[in-house]
């Protein structure tokens, strides 16, 4: 089947059926990271590659920031399982016209974030390539039971950390280069796009306290990633547009109709999780402890309801597309995003 029809996630599902597995795989293909048993314990393993001109553009990305982000996106997947990162294997495809100093800067970027989280870079591979390819594989500890995407139940609350849509707006600024955007707004959005913050402390505490029943990190847009939780957990979701956490920069720039970036813009790397209603107080306490904003944005409903977003008057909002998919043809949303600013 053509990939443009099947889509990225349809392809993964087809490949999953062929992929060999073993009784030591506790969580396999279909979650943020795999959780596997070893004779000496268990580990989390994840890989998230970055390809030039698909995930990044060297015209507006420094080698340092690229290294930082390559590690950040993988850390985010370990955070989404409630794990603790430990070892990084980094494989590179490098065009021959590159200078070694560019790759050293990339490693400096990785190093700056790795030191914050006690991650050691322990190996990798290098090959000649047409464009720059960065392929990290991150291995982490699972001291608490990892939080999969499949544990959400009807009536549970839905939460998100931080703010949504900033990264997509930052990318929009890089592409469109509008002149009238204030420096501080642009600086905030660009930082969020270039150096996302993996929410490791929140993820780990949610696992330790057994508070989250399902969790995912938002890499492809809130609705797309919420869709993965809903599918894995066999629930639907009711989201209140009013409760979506938006930064001041986002509110200033995106204006009244700008919720689409928060709903479907990718690369926020915030955590989206579900928790029992009776645990609301405990989630608030956790928020105060980690000093990361955590917003309750909706609730899980019956699967047949699907995912519904309500505006402040209680009317269902129509949204164009759900988020990023590598293969599906350009959706009306992506067209809208290139014209909206």
The binder of 48, among ligand ADP, Mg ion, none, by C-beta within 5 to 8 A per type, is ligand ADP
Phi-psi region of 165 (alpha: psi -120 to 50; beta: other; left: phi over 0): left
Residues 62-121 contacting ligand ADP, CB under 6 A: 77
Closer of 274 and 301 to Mg ion (Cβ): 274
Closer of 77 and 157 to Mg ion (Cβ): 77
Closer of 22 and 101 to ligand ADP (Cβ): 22
Interaction of residue 32 with Mg ion, rule CB under 5 A: yes
Stretch that binds Mg ion, among 17-25, 30-38, 163-171, 190-198 (CB under 5 A): 30-38
SS3 for the chain is: CCHHHHHHHHHHHHHHHHCCCCCCEEECECECCEEEEECCEEEEEEECCEEECCCECCCCCCHHHHHHHHHHHHHHHHHCCCCEEEEEEEEEEECCCCCHHHHHHHHHHHHHHHHHCCCEEEEEEEEECCCCEEEEEEEEECCCCCCCCCCCCCCCEEEEECCCCHHHHHHHHHHHCCCCCCHHHHHHHHHHHHCCCCCHHHHHHHHHCCCEEEEEECCCCHHHHHHHHHHHHCCEEEEEHHHCCCCHHHHHHHCCCCHHHHHHCCCCCCEEEEECHHHHHHHHHHHHHHCCCEEEEEEEECHHHCEEEECCCCCECCCCCCCCCCCCCCCHHHHHHHHCC
Interaction of residue 220 with Mg ion, rule CB under 5 A: no
How many residues at the interface with ligand ADP, by CB under 6 A?
10
Stretch that binds ligand ADP, among 24-32, 118-126, 147-155, 241-249 (CB under 6 A): 24-32
Cα radius of gyration (the chain): 20
Stretch that binds Mg ion, among 123-131, 150-158, 210-218, 297-305 (CB under 5 A): 210-218
Say if CB 158 and CB 300 are below 8 A apart: yes
The binder of 31, among Mg ion, ligand ADP, none, by C-beta within 5 to 8 A per type, is ligand ADP
Interaction of residue 12 with ligand ADP, rule CB under 6 A: yes
CB of 218 to Mg ion, least distance (A): 8
CB atoms within 10 A of CB 288: 9
Closer of 30 and 124 to ligand ADP (Cβ): 30
CB of 101 to ligand ADP, least distance (A): 30
| Closest residue to bound Mg ion by CB | 32
Closer of 29 and 54 to ligand ADP (Cβ): 29
Residues 168-227 contacting ligand ADP, CB under 6 A: 219
Closer of 12 and 122 to ligand ADP (Cβ): 12
Closer of 29 and 316 to ligand ADP (Cβ): 29
CB atoms within 10 A of CB 191: 16
The binder of 54, among Mg ion, ligand ADP, none, by C-beta within 5 to 8 A per type, is none
Residues 26-55 contacting ligand ADP, CB under 6 A: 29-32, 48
Max Cα-Cα span within the chain? 59
CB of 228 to ligand ADP, least distance (A): 7
Interaction of residue 156 with ligand ADP, rule CB under 6 A: no
Contacts with Mg ion by CB under 5 A lie at: 32, 77, 217
Contacts with ligand ADP by CB under 6 A lie at: 12, 15, 19, 29-32, 48, 77, 219
């Amino acid at each position: 089947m053509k990939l443009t029809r099947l889509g990225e996630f349809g392809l993964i599902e087809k490949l999953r059926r062929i992929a060999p597995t073993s009784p030591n795989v506790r969580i396999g293909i279909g979650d943020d990271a795999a959780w596997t048993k070893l004779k000496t314990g268990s580990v989390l393993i994840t890989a998230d590659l970055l390809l030039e001109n698909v995930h990044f553009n060297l015209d507006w990305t420094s080698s340092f920031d690229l290294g930082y982000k390559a590690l950040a996106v993988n850390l985010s997947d370990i955070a989404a399982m409630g794990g603790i990162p430990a070892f990084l294997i980094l494989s590179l495809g490098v065009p021959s016209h590159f200078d070694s100093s560019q790759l050293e800067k990339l490693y400096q970027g990785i190093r700056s974030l790795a030191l914050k989280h006690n991650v050691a870079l322990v190996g990798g591979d290098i090959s000649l390539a047409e464009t720059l390819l960065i392929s990290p594989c991150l291995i982490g500890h699972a001291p608490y039971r990892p939080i999969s995407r499949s544990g959400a139940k009807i009536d549970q609350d839905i939460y998100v950390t931080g703010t949504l849509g900033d990264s997509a707006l930052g990318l929009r600024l890089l592409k469109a280069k509008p002149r009238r955007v204030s420096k501080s707004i642009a600086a905030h959005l660009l930082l969020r796009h270039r150096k996302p913050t993996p929410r490791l402390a929140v993820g780990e505490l949610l696992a330790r306290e057994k508070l989250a029943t399902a969790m995912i990190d938002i890499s492809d847009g809130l609705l797309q990633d919420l869709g993965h939780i809903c599918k894995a957990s066999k629930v639907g979701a009711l989201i209140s547009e009013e409760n979506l956490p938006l930064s001041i920069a986002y509110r200033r720039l995106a204006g009244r109709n700008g919720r689409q970036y928060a709903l479907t813009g990718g690369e926020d790397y915030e955590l989206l999780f579900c928790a029992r209603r009776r645990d609301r107080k405990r989630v608030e306490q956790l928020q105060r402890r980690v000093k990361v904003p955590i917003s309750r944005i909706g609730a899980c409903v019956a699967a047949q309801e699907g995912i519904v977003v309500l505006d402040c008057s209680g009317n269902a909002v129509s949204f164009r597309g759900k988020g990023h998919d590598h293969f599906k043809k350009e959706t009306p949303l992506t067209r809208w995003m290139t014209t909206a600013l």
